[in-house]
Structure 1
Amino acid sequence: MPASLKVNCDRTALVDALALASAVVPSRTTTPVLTCLKLVGTDGELQLRATDGQISLALTVPGVEVASEGEALVPADKLGQIVRTCEDSTVALETDRNVATVRGDGSTFKIYGYDPKDYPAARETQAGAAFQVTAETLRRLIARTLFATAVENARFAINGVLMERKGKRIRLVGTDGKRLAVAAGGCTGDGDMTLIVPSKSLNILVKMLGDPDSNVTIGKSDGQATFQVEGVGTLVTSLVEGTFPPFEDVIPKDQDKRVTFDAADLAAAIRRAALLTNEESKGVRFAFKGDTLVVSSRAPEMGEAEIRVPMSGYQGDAIEIGFQPAFIIDALKVVDGQQVMVEMRSPQKPGVFKVGQEFTYVVMPVNVA
């Protein structure tokens, strides 16, 4: 492959690809080449590659004309900043040794890079038991579980999302020990597969799922998972080690009080009540009785709030229970526009929020006495 790379790119498409690839680049590293993106022009396509040692991403940039095949290794931040600030519809990029030149109408930038040979080799997995799911389904499942994962926790296995495939069903599970989100959908093929995917990897993957009709092929081997997104690129990630908690034991089976709400209406009431909470009084009280839910809050030296929400079809005795409002709003946001069933047992037991068989959210109560 010739050393000199020459390409003409649609600026908007390149900006989007650079932003996505740069999300993989580590913010701190003792290995300078990892702060770079590898650009590979071959077979009429331009590919961007990024890695942090645990995640590897290869993207195909649309709207590119490859005038001369070659490779370049360019600092991600500078390349991204330059292309974003260009106002042209197209930009030209070419390399000479380790110098990359970016040209627009009336502007020229030279960026000092590195030898492409110094970049880590592309990670590949031989996934023997791959299956497919639509981008629309996978995006929905990630959105409904990723928010509930632990940011930092000594139990490393809950720093990721459990991805469990059984036959033609796929289920994702996220938890931080105080709440649990389970989302299910359909996939193709037969067989079983279990993965614990790091949260960072899923945050990047979800940005690759813009076309709802594209297919995503998921495979696993040697402690790695591969996500090949049709028409976009491939993400390879190391998996989280350890055993995911036995989450099915956490989902209550004996709830005897239930009612259904519009998710957006319930979220709006909780947001209003949460306006009068503080660090000392984080909880919001939910009082279910008859045909009315009263959502209330009280914070010393701040004030009180009481929001009344009509309800119909309530089953069970009256109950008052406290929840942290942010935890409930997080769940209602990802099912906005749908009906959500709320199930309870007692003020000391977890509450359950459900959307059919596709979404189950379990959240621990808080003391609001």
Structure 2
Amino acid sequence: MATDSHKLVYYTRHDVKVTEKCSFILPKKPAAILRSLLGKSEDLVKVTFDTKNAYFEFDGNILICRLQEGTYPAYRSVIPKNNPNKLVINRVALLNAVKRVAVCSNQSTSHIKLSLSFNKLVISASDTNFSMSAHETLDCTYEGDEMHIGFKSTFLAEILNNLPYEEVSIELSDPTRAGLILAAGETDPEEVICSLLMPIRIPS
């Protein structure tokens, strides 16, 4: 699980062997190094840790990472439980549309608006300083109330770009609460990726 207070990703695997329930906080820099190294390896990884360091053993090497002190944020309380509004859409189509429309957003905020109605999604953005605007309409499957919700385009694109799914489901409760981005359709039963993105206030 990782968060920067604007977005959160919760990753679960059910095929991991552990001796007991435990946790530790890994800082961003060693996590990035670990991601780069593991991307080149197909070896099993053995993870151990003590009060100060975590040890990752793979490919005959040991990566030692200094742990971050303190208590991790109480993230479970911010994950919305009841989300009656559900959008299902092709991940790549949504990602590309977000990138295209975001070109006309205010470059200091990168805000875009998602307008949802029955089986239709309209993505729009504008920059009044340069008299620019753009909108794009996408086919989708949407069930729920008509809704307008704002997101920071760079955050939404980052989440979509790192998901391995063909289709994604975006579950919403209302425009002021976080959206959940999940896999749509059949996925690996051993792996669950849940992303949460906080909305931004958009002009009415």
**What TM-score does the superposition give when structure 2 sets the normalisation length?**
0.89
Q: Does 1:367 align with 2:201?
A: yes
Partner of 1:254: 82
CA distance in 2, matches of 1:326, 1:289: 23
Partner of 1:343: 171
Alignment of 1:242-321 (within 5 A): 242-279=70-107, 282-300=110-128, 301-312=130-141, 314-321=142-149
CA drift of 1:238 comes to 1.5
Q: Which one of the candidate residues 205, 214, 224 is aligned to 2:34? A: 205
Instruction: Please say if residues 264 and 336 of structure 1, whose CA atoms lie closer than 8 Å, have aligned partners that are also in contact.
Output: no
Q: Secondary structure at the match of 1:331?
A: helix
Residues 122-147 of structure 1, C-alpha deviation per residue, up to 9 Å, x if partnerless?
xxxxxxxxxxxxxxxxxxxxxxxxxx
Instruction: Please say if residues 109 and 152 of structure 2, whose CA atoms lie closer than 8 Å, have aligned partners that are also in contact.
Output: no
Runs of 4+ deviating beyond 6 Å: none
Partner of 2:153: 325
Q: CA RMSD in A?
A: 1.7
Alignment of 1:130-145 (within 5 A): none
Residues 71-107 of structure 1, C-alpha deviation per residue, up to 9 Å, x if partnerless?
xxxxxxxxxxxxxxxxxxxxxxxxxxxxxxxxxxxxx
CA distance in 2, matches of 1:290, 1:354: 20
**What TM-score does the superposition give when structure 1 sets the normalisation length?**
0.50
CA distance in 2, matches of 1:361, 1:214: 27
Residues 8-59 of structure 1, C-alpha deviation per residue, up to 9 Å, x if partnerless?
xxxxxxxxxxxxxxxxxxxxxxxxxxxxxxxxxxxxxxxxxxxxxxxxxxxx
CA drift of 1:189 comes to 3.8
CA distance in 2, matches of 1:330, 1:220: 30
Query: For residues 333 and 293 of structure 1, do their structure 2 counterparts lie closer, same or farther at Cα, with a shift above 3 Å needed?
Result: same
CA drift of 1:280 comes to 5.3
How many residues align structurally? Answer: 195
Q: Secondary structure at the match of 2:155?
A: helix
CA distance in 2, matches of 1:189, 1:281: 43
CA distance in 1, matches of 2:100, 2:195: 22
Instruction: Please say if residues 319 and 347 of structure 1, whose CA atoms lie closer than 8 Å, have aligned partners that are also in contact.
Output: yes
Query: For residues 182 and 351 of structure 1, do their structure 2 counterparts lie closer, same or farther at Cα, with a shift above 3 Å needed?
Result: same
Flag structure 1 segments of 5+ consecutive residues without an equivalent.
Answer: 1-172
Q: Secondary structure at the match of 1:366?
A: coil
Q: Secondary structure at the match of 2:24?
A: strand
Instruction: Please say if residues 208 and 229 of structure 1, whose CA atoms lie closer than 8 Å, have aligned partners that are also in contact.
Output: no
Query: For residues 230 and 322 of structure 1, do their structure 2 counterparts lie closer, same or farther at Cα, with a shift above 3 Å needed?
Result: same
CA drift of 1:278 comes to 1.9
Flag structure 2 segments of 5+ consecutive residues without an equivalent.
Answer: none
Q: Does 1:224 align with 2:53?
A: yes
Identity of aligned residues (%): 24
Query: For residues 242 and 189 of structure 1, do their structure 2 counterparts lie closer, same or farther at Cα, with a shift above 3 Å needed?
Result: closer
CA drift of 1:210 comes to 3.8
1:283 alignment partner AA: H
CA distance in 2, matches of 1:358, 1:255: 18
Partner of 2:17: 188
Partner of 2:43: 214
CA distance in 2, matches of 1:291, 1:210: 37
Partner of 1:120: none
Instruction: Please say if residues 264 and 337 of structure 1, whose CA atoms lie closer than 8 Å, have aligned partners that are also in contact.
Output: no
CA drift of 1:213 comes to 2.7
Q: Secondary structure at the match of 1:266?
A: helix
CA distance in 1, matches of 2:30, 2:111: 32
Alignment of 1:23-102 (within 5 A): none
Residues 198-252 of structure 1, C-alpha deviation per residue, up to 9 Å, x if partnerless?
1111111122214453011100113211001124x11112110000011111110
Instruction: Please say if residues 271 and 325 of structure 1, whose CA atoms lie closer than 8 Å, have aligned partners that are also in contact.
Output: yes
1:201 alignment partner AA: P
